[in-house]
Amino acid sequence: MEKALRKYFPLFALPALICFSLAFLIPMVWGFVLSFCEFATITDATFVGFQNYVRAFTVDNYFTQAFWFTLGFTIVTVISINILAFALALALTRNIPGTNAFRTIFFMPNLIGGIVLGWIWQVVLNGVLAGFEKTLLSDASYGFWGLVILMNWQNIGYMMVIYIAAIQNVPTDMLEAAAIDGANGRTTLFKIIIPSVMPSITICLFLTLTNGFKLYDQNLALTNGAPNHQTEMLALNIFNTFYSRVGFEGVGQAKAVIFTILVAAIALLQLVATRRKEVEN
Amino acid sequence: MKKALALMLIAFIVVSGAFAGGSKEDSGKTEIYFLNFKPEIADVYTDIVKPAFESAYPQYTLKVVTAASNQYQSTLRSELSKSAPPTIFQVNGPVGIAENVNTVAPLQDTDFYNLLADKGMALSLDGNVVAVPYAVEGYGIIYNDAIMRKYFALPDKAVDISSAEEITSFETLKAVVEDMTAHLDELGIRGVFASTSFMPGSEWRWTTHLVNPVLQAEFGDLATAQSAKTFEFKYSKNFQNIFDLYLNNSITPKGMIGSKADADSMAEFALGQVAMVQNGNWAAAQILGTQGNVVADEDIKFLPIYMDLEGEETKGINVGTENYLAFNKNASAEALEGADTFLTWLYSSPEGKEIVTNDLMFITPFSSFSSDEVPNDPLARQVNIWMNKDGVTSIPWVFNGIPSEQWKADFAQAMLEYINGNYTWDQVTATAQDAWAREAELTGR
């Protein structure tokens, strides 16, 4: 069996490998090469060295501005989504009637696509702000908090499902032992439940962190970066750079490479940091 | 043996799966691929133009793809890098040519180019004609004459003139508009001007069209504008005049314009809630197509955009084009010949011309069209009237010389900041100047 597996391994891995390289590896390598080129279509590229990387920062400061905005947004959403999702998961693992209905309702926003969500929330938030004769574009902070609300609404349900699964898997003997030892709810939560669900926290932190950095369609539909690029996030800035000027495709590509490295580095750091806190059950 | 057979079978499935869709049936017909720019008439191309052309020329198949609104450039770029790229595509002017220098084919020997009445309207690159305009458009301030008549019949109006046609200067326009704002209830409207739309993607009426008279006054013509390294914004004050007039006499308060799209503005006009809206003849379909449209065809008229520029009483509406067709030189010779056949058929055969006038609703710049072969919508007729008015010359479109999309975006955002109260007008002016200098340099002027 083992021998047969080893013999046919390349054959069975082949289809997946072809797909993976066609849809991921080749574009990624080619994209990296293109970031050093000036090009209009990807087939006629001329090598220009590091010029694109220099231009990414020197032509305007929108990229760095977008970075700080994205960072602020990610920090706020990672904290708020995880706390709220965990709280909901705790509440919905008690024996309250209608738990399943609530779980479904909270999860549903996740099934709607980003652009649609962006439009829905644009209408809702503009409707609310209309009472004050303002819109989402009147001030950058409206756009920021609008995005935070949208992101929470969309992601809390998904993270909640992960937390619910983890909380249900906390061994009941541990909880019973804690109860017999006289631990109150607070102690049980911080000494038993949270350490036990640490692997899920790792996953949820990873997902919310990368989701926050990579956010694009919601940003496009809600404010499109207005006013004055102040609500423009990294992904949107990259897209806009690519199409805003003749000959700037390479600059957009260079920004995309920087962006990939940045997100990968931050996500890895986070994984290493939280993995250390995980305990064996 | 069995194993080897199974192995071969699997390999075959994998390989054929990977390459499925790569092979294509060869029907002996030449495909002409037209990438259409105008989403509002996408159905006309697929439902009327395609079958008519294919029955007239059975050796060709016509493939029409329409890019989504505001997505033409990105769609074109991805389509051009495919193995079956478009044969005919649209460029929006000199800037569009600069983006596609390696793609555009010479057109001076085509029949299509020879149809053009004024050969000077075509765009050239290195001594070759590379793009031919196919539709002329005009824009200005569209007004609802029924409401205007109502205003001029008021006993306590503050102006001496008695019809909208007598408005020939900014001073008069301003007096009329402000007095109308004072009489909103009597006129039964909620604002004189429709919303100054600033929802993302809806700023183009200000960043290109409204700035055009100012660009024309400073640069004179398109050739000067498209090579200009700097933009002084000499007539910044004039731009502010009209922009403030729009904002202060609008149906929508300043704080709310960020939630208004240009379609909203057209709907407000069609529903009779406002008397005026700045737009062009392409918006006729939007007005007539609004459910509950209350504006009669004969009441839809154009007024030039007055902003207190010198000599503006002799200036008409803005007439020009940003609709040019170019051929892809990387397409096969048969396809290029087919493209020429197709466009010549569309713009010179009786059948094609009828489609152009009645269904596509273009005012064309071709000699094959007589002066009575113009679309029958009210705004197209108005464009024609203004183009032929005595003592009035149309303002040509100079905004095609704007150096990049980024300039428009920066200018739009500065205007939005002005409306939000965060910028003074001087800062808007400075943004327009700085951005022009930067973009002109980046695009290699």
Give the 3-state secondary structure of residue B324.
strand
Instruction: Provide, rounded to the nearest whole percent, the portion of chain A with pLDDT above 70.
Output: 99
Query: CA of B88 to nearest chain A CA: how many angstroms apart?
Result: 17
Please determine, for residue A89, whether its predicted confidence score (pLDDT) is greater than 90.
yes
Q: Please check whether residue A252 is in contact with residue A241, taking contact to mean a CB–CB distance below 8 angstroms.
A: yes
Taking contacts as CB-CB distances below 8 angstroms, the residues of chain B near A240 are: 409
Span between the terminal Cα atoms of chain B, in Å:
71
Residue B25: pLDDT band with limits 50, 70, 90: very low
DSSP B36: E
What's the rounded mean pLDDT across residues B397-413?
90
User: Which pLDDT does position B24 carry in this prediction?
Assistant: 43
The amino acid at residue A32 is F
Using CA atoms, how far residue B323 sits from A195, A205, B15, B309, B344, in Å, is 64, 50, 45, 28, 17
Instruction: Provide, rounded to the nearest whole percent, the portion of chain B with pLDDT above 90.
Output: 61
User: Which pLDDT does position B384 carry in this prediction?
Assistant: 86
Give the 3-state secondary structure of residue B208.
helix
Token pair in block for residue B263: 């379609």
Q: Check if A15 contacts B (Cβ < 8 Å).
A: yes
Q: How far is the C-alpha of A165 from the C-alpha of A75, rounded, in Å?
A: 25
Residue A274: pLDDT band with limits 50, 70, 90: confident
Q: Please check whether residue A147 is in contact with residue A215, taking contact to mean a CB–CB distance below 8 angstroms.
A: yes
Count of alpha carbons within 13 Å of A88, Cβ hemisphere only? 25
Using CA atoms, how far residue A95 sits from A89, A99, A169, in Å, is 12, 8, 15
Strand runs labelled E in B78-208: 88-91, 123-125, 128-133, 137-144, 191-193
User: Which pLDDT does position A4 carry in this prediction?
Assistant: 82
Which residue in this structure is represented by tokens 């001029």?
B152
Taking contacts as CB-CB distances below 8 angstroms, the residues of chain B near A122 are: 259
Digit-coded pLDDT (tens) for A188-217: 999 999 999 999 999 999 999 999 999 999
Residue B14: pLDDT band with limits 50, 70, 90: low
Span between the terminal Cα atoms of chain A, in Å:
33
The amino acid at residue B432 is A
Nearest CA to A196 among A86, A88, A81, A85?
A86
Nearest beta carbon to residue A228 from set B200, B406, B413:
B413
Q: Which of A90-104, A145-159, A209-223, B8-22 has the lowest mean pLDDT?
A: B8-22
Instruction: Choose between A207 and A40: higher pLDDT.
Output: A207
Q: How far is the C-alpha of B36 from the C-alpha of B72, rounded, in Å?
A: 8
User: Which pLDDT does position B6 carry in this prediction?
Assistant: 61
Q: How far is the C-alpha of B403 from the C-alpha of A139, rounded, in Å?
A: 28
Q: How far is the C-alpha of A153 from the C-alpha of A108, rounded, in Å?
A: 10
Domains of chain B as residue ranges with CATH: 25-136+321-369 (3.40.190.10), 138-318+393-442 (3.40.190.10)
User: Which pLDDT does position B435 carry in this prediction?
Assistant: 94
Cβ <8 Å between A246 and B253:
no
Q: How many CB pairs under 8 A join A and B?
A: 95
User: Which pLDDT does position A280 carry in this prediction?
Assistant: 57
Q: What is the ipTM of this complex?
A: 0.79
Taking contacts as CB-CB distances below 8 angstroms, the residues of chain B near A217 are: none
Domains of chain A as residue ranges with CATH: 2-51 (no CATH), 58-275 (1.10.3720.10)
The pairing of beta strand B300-303 with beta strand B315-320: unpaired
Q: How far is the C-alpha of A176 from the C-alpha of B205, rounded, in Å?
A: 69
Residue A152: pLDDT band with limits 50, 70, 90: very high
Q: Please check whether residue B214 is in contact with residue B233, taking contact to mean a CB–CB distance below 8 angstroms.
A: yes
What's the rounded mean pLDDT across residues A153-163?
94
User: Which pLDDT does position B23 carry in this prediction?
Assistant: 40
Residue B290: pLDDT band with limits 50, 70, 90: confident
Nearest CA to B124 among B16, B223, B193?
B223
Interface test with B, best of A38, A41, A248 (most B CBs within 10 A): A41
Q: How far is the C-alpha of B10 from the C-alpha of B13, rounded, in Å?
A: 5
Q: ∠ at Cα B334 (B332, B337), nearest 5°?
A: 110
Long-range contacts made by residues B157-165, C-beta under 8 angstroms, separation at least 24? Answer: B157/B183, B158/B182, B164/B301, B164/B303
Q: Please check whether residue B336 is in contact with residue B342, taking contact to mean a CB–CB distance below 8 angstroms.
A: no
b/e code A162-183 from CB counts within 10 Å (16+ = b): bbbebbeebeeebeeebeeeeb
What angle do helix axes B145-152 and B170-182 make, rounded to 10 degrees?
Answer: 80
Token pair in block for residue A254: 């260079």
DSSP B118: S
Please determine, for residue B189, whether its predicted confidence score (pLDDT) is greater than 90.
yes
Q: Check if A225 contacts B (Cβ < 8 Å).
A: yes
Cβ <8 Å between A11 and B10:
yes
Segments in B308-424 forming alpha helices (H): 333-348, 350-355, 378-387, 405-419
**Burial class of residue A204 in the structure, from the number of CB atoms within 10 Å of its CB (0-12 exposed, 13-18 middle, 19+ buried):** buried
User: Which pLDDT does position A206 carry in this prediction?
Assistant: 93
For chain B, the C-alpha Rg in angstroms (whole number) is: 25
Strand runs labelled E in B257-343: 274-280, 300-303, 315-320, 324-327
Token pair in block for residue B53: 């052309």
Q: Please check whether residue B304 is in contact with residue B312, taking contact to mean a CB–CB distance below 8 angstroms.
A: yes
CB neighbours of residue B137 within 10 Å: 20
Count of alpha carbons within 13 Å of B184, Cβ hemisphere only? 13
Token pair in block for residue B284: 């006729």
What's the rounded mean pLDDT across residues B67-88?
85
DSSP B278: E
Q: Which of A148-157, A210-219, B281-290 has the lowest mean pLDDT?
A: B281-290
Residues 6+ apart with CB under 8 A from A250: A34, A35, A36, A37, A38, A39, A48, A51, A52
The amino acid at residue B72 is Y
User: Which pLDDT does position A74 carry in this prediction?
Assistant: 96
Most confidently predicted of A112-121, B18-27, B203-212, B281-290:
B203-212
Please determine, for residue B9, whether its predicted confidence score (pLDDT) is greater than 60.
no
Most confidently predicted of A43-52, A73-82, A133-142, B399-408:
A73-82
Using CA atoms, how far residue A126 sits from A77, A226, A228, A259, in Å, is 21, 14, 18, 31
CB neighbours of residue B146 within 10 Å: 16
User: Which pLDDT does position B21 carry in this prediction?
Assistant: 43
User: Which pLDDT does position B22 carry in this prediction?
Assistant: 41
Q: Please check whether residue B415 is in contact with residue B399, taking contact to mean a CB–CB distance below 8 angstroms.
A: no
What's the mean pLDDT when you consider all of chain B? 89
What angle do helix axes A234-244 and B405-419 make, rounded to 10 degrees?
Answer: 130
Please determine, for residue B20, whether its predicted confidence score (pLDDT) is greater than 60.
no
Which residue in this structure is represented by tokens 């001007």?
B193
Give the 3-state secondary structure of residue B140.
strand
Which residue in this structure is represented by tokens 């960072």?
A71
Which residues make beta-bridge pairs with B142?
B277, B302
Per CB distance under 8 Å, which residues of B are interface residues toward A? Answer: 7, 10-11, 14, 17-18, 73-74, 77, 80-81, 95, 98-100, 102-103, 198-201, 253, 255-259, 404-406, 409, 413-414, 416-417, 420, 422, 438-439, 442-444
Q: Residue B32 CA to chain centroid, in angstroms? A: 25
